[in-house]
């Protein structure tokens, strides 16, 4: 069993004076949702996600040794330009990981980041962003300590990403990733995400995710606040138990390719996530009227055609439409004909299952 202590960097002379790395990390879409957390970003229940392929953050880290080792020093750029509003989040992240990566205070960092998806599209970039930054930090750590193994490299990268944003720990490595202790998933951990290594039924190969951008506005309630409202939530315990059951169920489905059961679990998870928001105190609703219009159209289309498309939702109004690659033509036609009218400026993103972060 790995513990937090295993990720503390042991002091060694820092021979690297300066350098630079660049990594991309993808977004991910949860099938069984993480909603509710304990201290230090420990999830209240396990979750599982598909890693995406096209929605990515690309981050370049330049580092150069400095004299003062007491504080963090960094420049933060977004698409090459200084981005002051992102600074507090990065500052907080660096402080959180300081005990695990004390060497970061020995360097001035330049973090230059960009996304492959449109800025302020309502697609959260925190998962891909925190994952991409964590990969760069681990590249620096490996430079300082070449003894770092591949396994440790990815586990610690996911561990660090988790401290930045919980779901980010599922954007590091693997096409299907499990995060959170679950007795039926060997090696699963509350501390980091692990690739799901069982054989996956070919129906899920290149599974598609078309993301409909329903509302690009700022959310009224952040995920962090939403997670917090699961404390003293009247249905919390039952929900956490349900997530465990759904994880077991989806494990079976990923093996046997039962897409109807897949749809049932995934849509129920999405609606349960939003039901938790609606039954929090204070309560809130992140879906928009068009979110519901889209859901109803998907149900109608599925009933009429038997094409196994389903939806899932994140903590927002946008809809992710999941379907097998072999129905791509009919499904995209349906989306274009019937759903784009519900999207802000007709915007949508085509994505599919990917494999994780990549060194550039």
The footprint of ligand DP6 (CB under 6 A) covers: 30, 33-35, 41, 47, 126, 165-167, 223-224, 227, 273, 314-315
Strands 73-78 and 208-212: unpaired
Beta pairing partners, 177: 49, 195
d(CA 169, CA 224): 15
Given a contact cutoff of 8 angstroms between Cβ atoms, the answer to whether 353 and 210 are in contact is no
**Closer of 227 and 239 to ligand DP6 (Cβ):** 227
Residue 59 or 171: the one with the smaller Cβ distance to ligand DP6 is 171
Q: Is the Cβ of residue 311 or residue 334 nearer to ligand DP6 in the bound state?
A: 311
**Smallest separation, CB 307 to ligand DP6 (Å):** 26
Antiparallel, parallel or unpaired: β 81-82 and 42-43: unpaired
Angle formed at CA 263 by CA 261 and CA 268, multiple of 5 degrees: 100
Would you give the DSSP letter of residue 336? I
Taking the least distance from each CB to ligand DP6, the nearer of 65 and 91 is 91
Q: Is 56 helix (H, G, I), strand (E, B) or coil?
A: strand
- Least distance to ligand DP6 from the beta carbon of 34, Å? 3
DSSP character at residue 343: S
Nearer to ligand DP6, 114 or 170 (CB): 170
Identify the CA nearest to 205 among candidates 173, 176, 184.
176
String of DSSP letters for 112-168:
EEEESS-TTSS---HHHHHHHHHHHHHHHHHHH-TT--HHHHHHHHHHHHHHH-GGG
Compare residues 272 and 326 and give the one whose CB is closer to ligand DP6. Answer: 272
Quote the least distance from Cβ 165 to ligand DP6, whole Å: 3
CB atoms inside a 10 Å sphere around CB 132: 34
State in angstroms the smallest separation of the CB of 116 from ligand DP6: 19
- Measured CA to CA, the distance from residue 133 to residue 92 in angstroms comes to 13
Residue 340 neighbours by CB under 8 Å, 6+ apart: 212, 346, 348
Which is closer to ligand DP6, CB of 20 or CB of 242? 242
User: Are β-strands 42-43 and 37-38 bridged in parallel, bridged antiparallel, or unpaired?
Assistant: antiparallel
Q: 313: part of which helix (H) or strand (E)? A: strand 310-313
Q: In 3D, which of 156, 200, 178 has the Cα closest to residue 48?
A: 178
Residue in the shown chain whose Cβ atom is closest to ligand DP6? 166
Shortest CB 44 distance to ligand DP6, Å: 11
In this structure, what token pair is assigned to residue 40? 């230090």
Nearest CB to ligand DP6, comparing residues 148 and 221: 221
Q: How far is the CB of 30 from ligand DP6 (least distance, A)?
A: 3
CB of residue 214 to ligand DP6, shortest distance in Å: 15
Output 225 or 340, the one with its CB closest to ligand DP6. Answer: 225
Please report how close the Cβ of residue 228 comes to ligand DP6 at its closest, in angstroms.
9
Q: How far is the CB of 282 from ligand DP6 (least distance, A)?
A: 17
């Amino acid at each position: 069993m790995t513990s937090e202590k295993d990720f503390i960097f042991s002091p060694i002379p820092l021979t690297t004076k300066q350098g630079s790395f660049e990594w991309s990390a993808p977004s991910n879409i949860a099938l069984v949702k993480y909603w509710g957390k304990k201290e230090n970003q420990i999830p209240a229940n396990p979750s599982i996600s598909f890693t995406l392929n096209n929605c990515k953050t690309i981050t370049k880290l330049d580092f150069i040794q400095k004299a003062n080792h007491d504080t963090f020093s960094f420049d933060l750029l977004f698409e090459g330009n200084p981005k002051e509003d992102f600074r507090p989040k990065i500052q907080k992240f660096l402080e959180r990981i300081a005990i695990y990566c004390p060497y970061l205070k020995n360097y001035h960092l330049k973090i230059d980041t960009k996304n492959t998806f449109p800025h302020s599209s309502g697609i959260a970039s925190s998962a891909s962003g925190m994952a991409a930054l964590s990969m760069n930090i681990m590249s620096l750590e490996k430079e300082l300590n070449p003894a770092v193994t591949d396994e440790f490299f990815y586990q610690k990268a996911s561990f660090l990403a988790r401290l930045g944003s919980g779901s980010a720990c599922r954007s590091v490595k693997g096409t299907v990733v499990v995060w959170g202790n679950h007795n039926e998933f060997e090696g699963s951990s509350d501390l980091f995400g692990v690739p799901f290594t069982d054989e996956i039924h070919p129906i899920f190969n290149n599974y598609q995710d078309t993301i409909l951008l329903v509302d690009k506005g700022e959310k009224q309630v952040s995920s962090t606040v939403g997670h917090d409202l699961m404390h003293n939530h009247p249905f919390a315990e039952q929900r956490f138990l349900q997530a465990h059951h759904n994880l077991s169920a989806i494990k079976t489905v990923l093996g046997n390719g039962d897409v109807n059961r897949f749809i049932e679990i995934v849509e129920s998870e999405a609606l349960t996530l939003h039901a938790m928001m609606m039954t929090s105190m204070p309560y809130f609703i992140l879906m928009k009227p068009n979110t519901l219009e889209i859901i109803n159209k998907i149900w109608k289309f599925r009933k009429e055609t038997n094409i196994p498309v389903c939806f899932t939702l994140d903590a927002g109004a946008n809809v992710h439409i999941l379907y097998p690659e072999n129905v791509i033509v009919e499904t995209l036609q349906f989306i274009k004909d019937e759903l784009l009218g519900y999207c802000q400026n007709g915007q949508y993103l085509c994505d599919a299952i990917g494999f994780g972060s990549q060194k550039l």
